[in-house]
Amino acid sequence: MLDILLTSDGDLSVTEWGDIVLTESVRQAIRIRLLWFFGEWRFAPDIGIPYWEEFFVKNPNLSRIRRIVRNEVLSVREVNDVREIQIDIVNQTRAATISFVAATNEETFREEVGIPWGIFTD
């Protein structure tokens, strides 16, 4: 899947001449999906991960959360398998870290995505 390349902090990657850069990065596609909060996009409010409803609640159901994350990672067309998922939730700060191992036909890779709630409250 062709997409616009993003920097590690989520900005557009632009060349020194001001051109955008394209990529077919599976890692970026997964990262975008995991950072998408449920109801965030007004044109498709039924997509995204239910962080407020499932993750950042008292006594979150970790097995359900793992299934949600696994399904989201598997929804990226190139991903064949999710071999490992670790989710660390800090309820005091309402932040989470999702670590996973995903496999495609071409590679198996480990990735970590931080979910900070503060970026959405300004």
* Torsion of the alpha carbons at 26, 80, 70 and 90, rounded to the nearest 10: -50
Its pTM stands at: 0.81
* β-bridge pairing 95-103 and 22-23: unpaired
Q: Which of 1, 71, 76 is nearest to 31 (CA)?
A: 76
What is the per-residue pLDDT for 85? Answer: 96
For each of the domains in the chain, give its residue range(s) and CATH number, in order of start.
27-120 (3.10.450.40)
pLDDT in tens, the chain (122 residues): 677 778 777 778 788 898 888 878 899 999 989 998 898 888 888 889 999 899 888 888 999 999 999 999 999 999 999 999 999 988 777 788 999 999 999 999 999 999 876 544 44
End-to-end CA, the chain: 32
- 102 strand-pairing partners: 82, 109
Q: Quick check: 88 and 78 in contact, CB under 8 A?
A: no
What is the per-residue pLDDT for 118? Answer: 55
